[in-house]
Amino acid sequence: MNPDRLKNIGLGILFLLVQVALFRHLKILKIQPDLVLIFLLWYAARYDRTSAIVMAAGFSFLQDALLDLWGLNMFTKTLLIFVSFNFIPRNTKKQLLIGQVFLTVLIGALVHNIIFLGLNSVIVNYTAEIFFWRHLIGNSCYTALVAAIIYLFRTR
């Protein structure tokens, strides 16, 4: 295993731990961002499809284990990376604009939450329609906002 891959696994674990330890408790109107999704979209923009899908399956499995969801995140994040891989902007020499980052993560989060909530409705966790819309729109926008802020403060 090369050092670059180990560094990315460590970064993913850091995002996962911050998600579970910090952002799970920093809710705004019961809305929370998904840092693991931000990491996976970033990873898919930099590496090949197979590596991104394996990373998505691994980290979303760990997220499910820590949040006691067992399979929902693993299925939705792996499916999202598989389906959206060709649409994610690749690394180029030019910098992305903050709006491009926000829009990419927002669309990815919306698709992720649609799949997630569709599975949840089958399981009947979300019976009230208000929870569906709050989770779909609120979590997606919050996730995209956190990704845009991370993008602003990134290092090269």
In tens digits, the chain (156 residues) has pLDDT values of 789 989 999 999 999 999 999 988 888 888 889 999 999 999 999 899 999 999 999 999 999 998 887 788 899 999 999 999 988 887 666 787 888 889 999 999 999 999 988 887 777 654 556 677 788 898 999 999 999 999 998 866
Q: What is the model's pLDDT at position 127?
A: 53
Q: What is the model's pLDDT at position 17?
A: 94
Q: What is the model's pLDDT at position 156?
A: 66
CATH topology of domain 3-152: Arp2/3 complex 21 kDa subunit ARPC3 (1.10.1760)
Q: What is the model's pLDDT at position 124?
A: 65
Which of 142, 24, 123, 36 lies closest to 81, judged by CA? 36
Q: Give the list of residues 6+ apart from residue 10 with CB closer than 8 angstroms, or none.
A: none
Q: What is the model's pLDDT at position 128?
A: 53
Q: What is the model's pLDDT at position 92?
A: 66
Q: Which residue has the tokens 């891989």?
A: 85
What is the rounded distance in angstroms from the CA atom of residue 151 to the CA atom of residue 56?
20
